[in-house]
Structure formats: structure tokens, C-alpha cells
């Protein structure tokens, strides 16, 4: 009774004050340019999840949510402009969905004390939270992806890939170059031969790379592609009749938009995934009821349930759970930017929590700590079935080879610390 | 009435040949300098500096550089992005190799290195002209970007292939890195811009500039009257590349802080700077500023009006922005092929006669 009265008083107070405190998030999205085909579904999923929380639950912990969208076109200059334009609004966390923009923002968010969450992209060594205090890249990063990709090849080859030829087709940018170090280290360990085939921005022209693949016939092709580069690469692979089951993309090269243009022949193409790639989850019923049918969906509203939509939604879910954690730690619902960083650092995603959100089994359970900002790096392999028009997860979620990755993380984050005169600490 | 030469007597040759012969212009110039140096720094915040002033100032230097080459000397160049990249990577190498040396020195040295590279790629200009030269400089653009992507030495073997500018201070005030104050970076760039403009202006109205313009207007005639095309063309390439290199250095170290060569210094950048000088006005220092302002400020203004002001979806606003900027470029080229600088010139002529035009 007392509680009811209290909440009634609070509700009355809230109603009486028109200007409520809001939790502000940013969506540095891109719906235009050469990367728009992949940027749109992610942005829609990200925005829709926040809309769902707002419409169904009235926000997070009773605080309403405000999301500021800003178009970056995957361009770092525009990304900087967006960051500067929105940071004054008290944005709690940034998720730029661009490795290039992430590199821009790391020093800026460090100086401004704002959290940066780069889920499955960005600077891999940000996993070392002792140096990158407010940068988070859980639940998986590129080096996890490279390692699990090689593990998958080991699995299907009975544990031995000595002497195999593996080609890496990559976007010639910070993003595409990230896995190279790991793949080189792994090639020393497992004895495969690595060929590097860079594709320049934006990636529409890949004839020479695929000619080389046709000539050298590598046993496996890995791809680190994004935007228009993905469908072009898959089409080229089909054109040279490369066996699709030996062609594995990173998670950013594994959406419907990438494989559909190549038609039925894209069947068998594999891509890594760090979350579920289908839409059989209870949350989609709510999504339909509160967001899509209510006419509040972001964009055209036609992307619900696609891989990248799911990823955008997953990202928003992790951010909002971090905000909830921050609210619990701070003991108040109107959290500050500093509280949000603590929320990220104490985030625990358990299976029960995921089930309560209507996302049982959607992603792995993991917990974040100051020492580990990158989660456990659990990655699975999905395979495209053009006949059914959907992705199927064909392997278990498995952890990456940390014996190879951890030294690389220590080395790279150590270099960053030395460059910026930081000392690792957790207080 | 107040904008005319009458009553403003020059008593020395020096006074007679000053940049701004009209008294009003002179005071306006001092007023602009005063506002830029002494008033604006007090009203700056991060957004104004990073979204508006830094890009405007740095692109102005690049536009001045390209204007010397294309506008004054008539050599079309599509290699601006590549030369900016040379400036950026040169600063990066210098900054990380000699951390104790002042940034001013590094940026000037980076300009010097770019000048050398510019001369190297300018050599074909002695044999080829026009479109063919444009293609040769285009090759420079692609070659340089490829080089900086290909050779790990240029990016100190970093895993991502990116270059990041570490924190450096000038007189104890940080000017690169994350902990910079808006006024500090603004003033740092403004000094370079002001000096570049003064130097470029005085070069172009001196003997050197006259040689360039002679080459531009008719190279055979210029050669006959005694202009050496070798020195004229190569000096244009060197000085132009110097300014472009300085702008690239500032672009990387002060403005962005982290650069990926293919994205930031790609062919788009070359075209952007070329559009700036075409819209601003070929062969005009003021035109370089006007063009840079037009192409930097207009998209930001449109975005703020459409998205923040009217609340439109970001993608529609972004597409509309392309259409409006593109449309305005076409309108400008049809209505005023000599650029914004020509509008300014006409306005000055009119002002000189005002209010009695006869």
C-alpha cells in the first residue's frame, strides 16, 4: 500500500513536470552511400529496439529514451561532425558502426568521458579495459572472428590444415586489415599459407582479385567485406564457380542483402555470427505489436528479422541493459555519462536475463569486467540456404584461441598506452 | 560613396602597390583579421571548431594551393588528395620520429616534402598539357594512396594501417590529440591560413605570379617573351604542393587525429578541392576561401536545417543535400562561370560607383 502510494505520488510528480529527464543515446547511422545497404537494417534494428522499450515499458527504469540519429555515410569526417553535434546533448553511449569512425572517437570519448560501444568491430585491443577505460567491444571482436574462422576450417579438416592455401579478401581499410595480424600468427601455428587480397573502397571492382583466386585456387577464401563489396564478391565467387562452402565471410559479410543478389548459386556461402540469425524469438511479437503495427518502425520497416536488423537490435539491447545496470549501481534512474561507463563495465548477460527479454538463446552469455571489455568471443558459423532464403547456424558457438590473441591484444593496447602515456589501471 | 579610390593618395611606390588600394577594403581586411584572431576564439566550442572552422580553414589552404597551380598557372591537377596524404604521412612520420621538435616545424617540413613530391609528379607537365596532364596527376593520386596503404613503414606497422596523431603541445598548450582546447587548434590553423593567404597573394602579384599567368594564358607566347616554362611550371607545382601538403598535415594532425588514407585522401578529396576553386573562382585567393566556405558550410547548414530544424529523416536529408549542393554547383557554373570571386568583383565595381552609377 505504501509502495503503491509512493508510486502514485511519483507518477503524479512526473506528470506534473513536463520536462522529464531523458536517457539520450546516439545512432550514428548510415542510410546513404556505398555502405547503405548494410547500414539501413542495422540502424532500423537499433532504433526499433529503443522504440519498443519506450512504447512497451515507457523507457528504461522509468526514464524515457531519446535517440538522436545522425547520418555519417560511413565517412569519418561526417562521423566527427555527428559526434561533436550530439555530445552536448548528454549522449550516454556511442555506437558508430564503423571502424574508421571508432578510431577517430576513441581519443575523443576518452577525453570527454563518454562510453563507446563497438560491438564486433572497432579497435580489437580495446578488449583490454585497463587501458581503454570507456571503450567496449563485447561480445566478440575481429580477432575472435579470425580465430574461430580458422577453428572451423580445422574442424572440417579433422584438425589439420597444414599446407592449405587460404586467401583473405579484405576491405583495404582499418576494418579489413584488423584480422591480418591474427591470421598471420595463426598461420605460424597451424602451418597454412595466407594470401592477402585487398579490395579498395568502395569495392565494386574486384575482377583482378577474383582472377587471382581463380588462378591460384586457394583451398579457402575468407572475406572481411562491408557494404557494396559483399554482394560483388559473392557474385564474383559464383562467376568463377568457386565452391561456396569454402568461402567464409566475417559477420559483417553475412546478411541477406549480401547473398540475395547472387541468387540460388550463393547457397553454401558461410559467414561467422556472434548472435542468432533468425527471427524465431518472442521479442519479435512485441516488436510487431508495439512498433511495426503502430507505424513507429524506423526506416521503411521492412527489415525486421534480417541478420543485420537483429544485430542492430542486439546492440541496442546490450546498451539498454548496460544502462539498466548503471541505474542499479548508481541507485537512481537518471544516470550520467560516468554512471553509464560503470554500467557497461559491470554488465552481465545471463541466459535468464536474455530469456526474460524474449531473446532466449539469441546470443551467448557473458560478463564484462574492467580487465575484459570484450566478452568471451563466442562465435559460430552460419550458412546461407538460398532455396529457403535463410541463414542456418551450422556449428556450435565456440571460443577463440586466446593463447594467440591475448599476446596480440597486450601488444597493441600496450603500444596505445605508450603512445598516449597511459598506465593500466582499474580504479 | 565611401568605397572609392578618390581622396586616398599614395605618396610612395610601396603604398601605390599595396594589396588593397581602396581604404575601405584595407580597413575591412584589418577588421576581418581582428575578428578572426581576437574575437572568434572567445566564442568557440568543440562543435563550431570541429564541424565548421577547422574544415573551412584547412580546406582553404588546400584550395589556395590548388588555385596557384590550376587557377594561376593553368595546370589541371587531380592529385590534390594524394598530395594531402603526403603531407599527412610526412607529419606522422616526423611527429613520431622526433617528438621533441615543435609541430610548427613538422608541418612546414611536411609541406616541404610534399613540394618535392609535387615537383616529381609535375615533371610530365613540361611535355603534356590539359586533359593529359590531368590524367598524369590522377595517376599520382592513385599511386600515392596505394603507396601509403601498401608500405607498412609509412604507418609504423600498426595493425589497422591507420595513422594516429599523438598529443603534441605548442608553448605548453596541446594542439594535437584528444585534450585540445577549441581556441588553441583554431588559432593554430588560423595562423597557417593567414600566412598562406598573404604569401600566396604576394607571390601571385609578383614576378613569379606573372610568369605563371603568362604560361596559363599562352605558353608559347610566354616562352617567346622570355618566361622559362621549366622553372615557371615546376615552381608552380612546388609551391602549390607545399600549401596542399601543409593542409594535409593539419587535416590529419589537428583536425581528424586518425586517418585512413584510402577514405580520407581518396579521389573524392581531389575533386572536392577542385570544385572549391572552380566555384570560388579560378585565379583568386578570395575565391579559394569562398569556395571552401561554400562546400564546407553548405552541407552542414543544410543538415542542421533539414534534420535538426525540420526533423526530417536523416537519409532523405542526406539525399536532398546531394541534390541541393549539386544543383547549386550547376546553377553557379551556368550563371557565373568565373565563380563567387567574380560576383565579389562585380559587387565591388558597383559599389565603387554607388550611389551615382553614371
Average pLDDT, chain A: 87
Q: What residues contact B133, with CB distance under 8 A and at least 6 apart?
A: B75, B76, B77, B124, B125
Do A120 and A141 touch, CB atoms closer than 8 A? yes
Query: What number of other Cβ atoms are within 10 A of residue B19's Cβ?
Result: 12
How far CA B49 is from CA of A81, A84, B147, in Å, comes to 10, 9, 31
Distance from CA of B100 to the nearest CA of A (A): 14
Radius of gyration of chain B (CA): 21
Residue A1, pLDDT > 60, answer no
Q: Residue B27 is placed in which grid cell?
A: 580597413
pLDDT at B293 over 90: yes
User: pLDDT tens digits, residue range B23-56?
Assistant: 888 888 999 999 999 999 888 888 888 888 999 9
Using CB atoms within 10 Å of the CB of residue B141, give its burial: 0 to 12 exposed, 13 to 18 middle, 19+ buried.
buried
Q: How far is A372 from chain B (nearest CA, A)?
A: 20
User: Does residue A297 contact residue A39 with C-beta atoms inside 8 Å?
Assistant: no
Check if CATH label 3.40.50.2300 holds for domain A2-141+279-377+407-419: yes
What was the ipTM of the complex prediction? Answer: 0.85
Is the per-residue pLDDT at B353 higher than 90?
no
Residues B197, B214: Cα–Cα separation, whole Å: 21
Model confidence at B103: pLDDT above 80? yes
Residue B69 has pLDDT above 60, yes or no: yes
The neighbour count for residue B45, using CB atoms within 10 Å, is 11
Contact check, Cβ <8 Å, A87/B46: yes
- Could you please report the per-residue DSSP string of B120-152? HHHGGGGT--HHHHHHHHHHHHHHHHHHHHH-G
Q: How are beta strands A64-71 and A22-29 bridged, if at all? A: parallel
Segments of chain A assigned to CATH 3.40.50.2300 = 2-141+279-377+407-419, 142-276+379-402
**Nearest-by-Cβ selection for B315 from A32, A174, A421:** A32
Question: Average pLDDT for residues A278-289, to the nearest whole number?
Answer: 88
Chain A residue with CA closest to B156: the answer is A415
The 3-state DSSP class for residue B43 equals: helix
Q: How many helices (H) and strands (E) does chain B have?
A: 16, 4
Q: Give the mean model confidence (pLDDT) for residues A42-65.
A: 91
pLDDT tens digits for range B339-350: 888 988 898 888
What are the strands, taking DSSP E only, across B126-222?
163-164, 169-170, 173-174
Q: For residue B51, what pLDDT is reported?
A: 87
Least confident of A153-157, B35-39, B222-226, B304-308: B304-308
Which residue in the block uniquely carries the three cell numbers 608553448? B171
Let me know: does A147 contact A404? Beta carbons within 8 Å. yes
Question: For B72, which DSSP code?
Answer: I
Q: Which of B198, B234, B233 is nearest to B216 (CA)?
A: B233
Name the nearest CA neighbour of B53 among B185, B195, B197.
B185
Contact B178 A123 (CB under 8 A): no
Q: What average pLDDT does the segment A315-321 reach?
A: 92
Distances (CA, A) of B37 to B44, B51, B190, B277, B311: 12, 19, 8, 25, 35
Q: Which residues of A touch B260 (CB under 8 A)?
A: 76, 100, 103, 173-174
My answer on whether omega of the bond before A139 falls inside 30° of 0, hence cis, is yes
Mean pLDDT of B249-277: 90
Q: Which residues from chain A sit within 8 angstroms of residue B159, using beta carbons?
A: 124, 177-178, 180-181, 408, 412
Q: Closest Cα to residue B27, out of B2, B61, B63? A: B2
Which CATH architecture fits A142-276+379-402? 3-Layer(aba) Sandwich (3.40)
| Strand, helix or coil for residue A254 | coil
| Three-state helix/strand/coil letters over A84-135 | HHHHCCCECEECCCCHHHHHHHHHHHHHHCCEEECCCCCCHHHHECCCCCCE
Contact list, A104 vs chain B (CB under 8 Å): 256-258
Buried b (16+ CB within 10 A) or exposed e, A269-291: bbbbbbbbbbeebebbebbeebb
Q: Output the pLDDT for position B290.
A: 93
pLDDT surpassing 60 at residue A14: no
Interface of chain B toward chain A, CB-CB under 8 angstroms: 45-47, 50-51, 55, 149, 158-162, 164, 166-167, 177-179, 256-260, 262-264, 266, 300, 303, 307, 313-315, 317-319
8 A C-beta contact, residue A284 and residue A317: no
Residues B314-326: pLDDT tens digits?
888 888 888 988 8
- At residue B1, the pLDDT reads 64
Q: Which helix (H) or strand (E) holds B240?
A: helix B229-250
- With 60 as the cut, is the pLDDT of residue A7 above it? no
- Give the pLDDT confidence score for residue B138 in this predicted structure: 92
Helix (H) or strand (E) holding A194: strand A193-199
φ, ψ at B122 (rounded to 5°): -85, -15
Q: What are phi and psi of B112, to 5 degrees?
A: -65, -45
For residues A379-402, average pLDDT: 89
Tell me what pLDDT residue A371 has.
Answer: 87
Q: How confident is the model at residue A21 (pLDDT cuts 50, 70, 90)?
A: low
- Provide mean pLDDT across the span B157-184: 84
Residue range A74-113, pLDDT digits in tens: 888 888 888 988 888 889 999 998 888 998 888 889 888 8
For B217, the grid coordinates are 594564358
Which residue from A81, A128, A152 is spatially nearest to A382, judged by alpha carbons?
A152
Question: Is the pLDDT reported for residue A10 higher than 60?
Answer: no
Domain boundaries in chain B? 42-266
- Which one of A36, A80, A181 has the shortest CB-CB distance to B159? A181
Judge whether A121 and A252 are in contact, CB under 8 Å: yes
User: Exposed, middle or buried, A353 (CB in 10 Å: 0-12/13-18/19+)?
Assistant: middle
Angle at A112 between CA A109 and CA A113, to 5 degrees: 75
Question: Which candidate in A67, A100, A408 is best for mutational testing of the B interface (most B CBs within 10 A)?
Answer: A100
pLDDT at B215 over 50: yes
pLDDT of residue A19: 43
Q: Are A254 and A226 in contact (CB under 8 A)?
A: no
CB–CB of B19/B205 below 8 Å? yes
Could you count the other beta carbons within 10 Å of the beta carbon of residue A367?
A: 13
In this predicted model, what pLDDT tens digit does every residue of A240-261 receive, in sequence order?
999 999 999 999 998 888 999 9
Return the pLDDT at B208: 93
CB contact under 8 A, A107 and B319: no
CA distance to partner chain B, nearest, from residue A36 (Å): 10
Q: Residue A427 burial (CB < 10 Å; 0-12/13-18/19+)?
A: exposed
CB distance B51–A75 less than 8 Å? no
Nearest CA in chain B to A78: B51
Whether the pLDDT of residue A404 is over 50: the answer is yes
| Mean pLDDT score of chain B | 89
Amino acid at each position: 500500500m505504501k509502495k503503491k502510494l509512493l508510486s502514485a505520488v511519483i507518477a503524479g510528480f512526473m506528470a506534473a513536470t513536463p520536462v522529464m529527464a531523458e536517457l539520450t543515446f546516439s545512432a550514428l547511422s548510415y542510410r546513404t552511400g556505398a555502405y547503405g545497404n548494410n547500414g539501413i537494417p542495422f540502424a532500423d534494428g537499433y532504433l526499433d529496439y529503443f522504440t519498443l522499450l519506450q512504447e512497451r515499458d515507457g523507457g528504461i527504469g522509468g526514464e524515457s529514451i531519446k535517440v538522436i540519429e545522425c547520418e555519417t555515410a560511413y565517412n569519418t569526417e561526417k562521423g566527427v561532425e555527428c559526434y561533436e553535434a550530439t555530445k552536448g546533448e548528454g549522449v550516454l553511449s556511442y555506437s558508430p558502426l564503423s571502424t574508421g569512425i571508432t578510431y577517430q572517437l576513441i581519443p575523443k570519448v576518452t577525453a570527454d568521458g563518454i562510453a563507446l560501444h563497438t560491438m564486433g568491430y572497432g579497435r580489437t585491443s580495446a578488449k583490454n579495459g585497463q587501458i581503454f577505460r570507456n571503450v567496449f567491444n563485447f561480445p566478440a571482436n575481429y580477432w575472435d572472428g579470425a580465430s574461430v574462422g580458422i577453428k572451423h576450417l580445422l574442424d572440417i579438416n579433422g584438425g589439420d590444415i597444414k599446407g592449405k592455401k587460404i586467401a583473405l579478401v579484405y576491405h583495404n581499410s582499418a576494418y579489413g586489415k584488423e584480422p591480418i595480424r591474427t591470421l598471420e600468427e595463426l598461420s605460424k601455428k597451424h602451418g597454412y599459407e595466407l594470401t592477402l587480397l585487398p579490395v579498395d573502397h568502395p569495392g565494386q571492382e574486384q575482377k583482378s582479385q577474383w582472377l587471382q583466386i581463380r588462378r591460384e585456387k586457394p583451398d579457402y577464401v575468407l572475406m572481411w567485406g562491408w557494404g557494396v563489396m559483399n554482394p560483388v564478391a559473392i557474385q564474383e565467387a559464383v562467376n568463377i564457380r568457386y565452391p561456396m562452402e569454402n568461402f567464409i565471410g566475417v559477420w559483417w559479410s553475412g546478411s541477406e542483402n549480401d547473398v540475395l543478389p547472387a541468387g540460388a548459386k550463393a547457397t553454401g556461402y558461410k559467414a561467422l555470427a556472434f548472435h542468432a540469425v533468425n527471427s524465431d524469438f518472442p521479442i519479435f511479437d512485441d516488436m510487431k505489436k508495439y512498433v511495426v503495427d503502430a507505424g513507429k518502425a524506423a526506416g521503411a520497416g521492412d527489415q525486421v528479422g534480417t541478420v543485420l536488423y537483429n544485430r542492430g537490435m542486439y546492440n541496442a539491447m546490450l546498451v539498454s541493459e548496460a544502462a539498466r545496470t548503471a541505474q542499479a549501481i548508481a541507485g537512481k534512474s537518471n544516470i550520467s555519462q560516468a554512471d553509464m561507463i560503470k554500467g557497461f563495465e559491470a554488465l552481465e548477460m545471463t541466459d535468464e536475463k536474455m530469456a526474460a527479454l524474449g531473446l532466449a538463446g539469441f546470443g551467448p552469455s557473458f560478463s564484462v569486467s574492467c580487465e575484459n571489455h570484450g566478452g568471451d568471443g563466442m562465435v559460430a558459423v552460419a550458412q546461407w540456404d538460398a532455396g529457403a532464403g535463410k541463414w542456418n547456424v551450422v556449428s556450435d558457438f565456440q571460443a577463440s584461441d586466446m593463447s594467440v590473441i591475448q599476446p596480440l591484444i597486450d601488444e597493441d593496447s600496450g603500444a596505445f598506452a605508450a603512445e598516449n602515456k597511459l598506465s593500466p589501471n582499474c580504479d | 560613396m565611401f568605397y572609392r579610390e578618390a581622396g586616398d593618395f599614395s605618396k610612395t611606390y610601396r603604398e601605390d602597390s599595396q594589396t588593397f588600394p581602396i581604404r575601405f577594403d584595407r580597413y575591412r581586411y584589418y577588421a576581418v583579421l581582428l575578428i578572426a584572431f581576437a574575437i572568434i576564439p572567445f566564442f568557440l566550442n568543440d562543435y563550431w571548431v570541429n564541424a565548421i572552422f577547422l574544415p573551412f580553414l584547412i580546406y582553404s589552404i588546400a584550395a589556395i594551393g590548388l588555385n596557384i597551380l590550376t587557377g594561376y598557372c593553368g595546370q589541371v591537377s587531380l592529385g590534390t588528395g594524394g598530395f594531402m596524404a603526403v603531407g599527412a604521412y610526412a607529419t606522422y612520420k616526423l611527429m613520431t620520429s622526433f617528438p621533441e621538435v615543435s609541430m610548427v616545424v613538422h608541418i612546414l617540413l611536411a609541406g616541404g616534402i610534399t613540394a618535392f613530391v609535387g615537383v616529381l609528379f609535375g615533371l610530365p607537365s613540361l611535355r603534356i598539357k590539359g586533359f593529359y596532364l590531368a590524367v598524369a596527376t590522377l595517376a599520382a593520386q592513385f599511386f600515392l594512396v596505394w603507396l601509403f596503404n601498401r608500405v607498412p613503414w609509412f604507418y609504423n606497422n600498426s595493425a589497422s594501417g591507420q595513422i594516429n596523431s599523438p598529443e603534441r603541445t605548442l608553448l605548453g598548450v596541446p594542439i594535437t590529440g584528444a585534450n585540445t582546447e577549441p581556441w588553441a587548434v583554431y588559432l593554430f590553423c588560423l595562423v597557417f591560413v593567414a600566412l598562406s593567404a598573404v604569401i600566396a597573394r604576394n607571390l601571385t602579384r609578383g614576378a613569379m605570379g606573372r610568369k605563371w599567368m603568362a604560361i596559363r594564358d599562352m605558353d608559347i607566347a610566354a616562352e617567346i617573351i622570355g618566361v622559362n616554362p621549366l622553372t615557371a611550371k615546376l615552381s608552380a607545382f612546388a609551391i602549390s604542393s607545399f600549401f596542399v601538403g601543409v593542409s594535409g598535415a593539419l587535416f590529419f594532425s589537428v583536425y581528424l587525429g586518425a586517418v585512413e588514407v584510402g577514405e580520407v585522401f581518396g579521389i573524392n578529396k581531389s575533386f572536392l578541392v577542385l570544385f572549391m576553386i572552380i566555384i570560388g573562382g579560378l585565379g583568386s585567393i578570395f575565391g579559394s576561401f569562398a569556395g571552401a566556405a561554400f562546400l564546407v558550410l553548405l552541407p552542414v547548414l543544410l543538415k542542421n536545417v533539414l534534420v535538426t530544424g525540420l526533423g526530417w529523416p536523416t537519409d532523405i536529408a542526406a539525399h536532398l543535400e546531394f541534390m541541393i549542393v549539386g544543383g547549386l554547383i550547376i546553377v553557379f557554373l551556368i550563371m557565373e562561370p568565373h565563380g563567387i570571386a567574380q560576383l565579389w568583383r562585380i559587387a565591388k565595381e558597383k559599389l565603387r560607383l554607388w550611389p551615382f552609377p553614371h
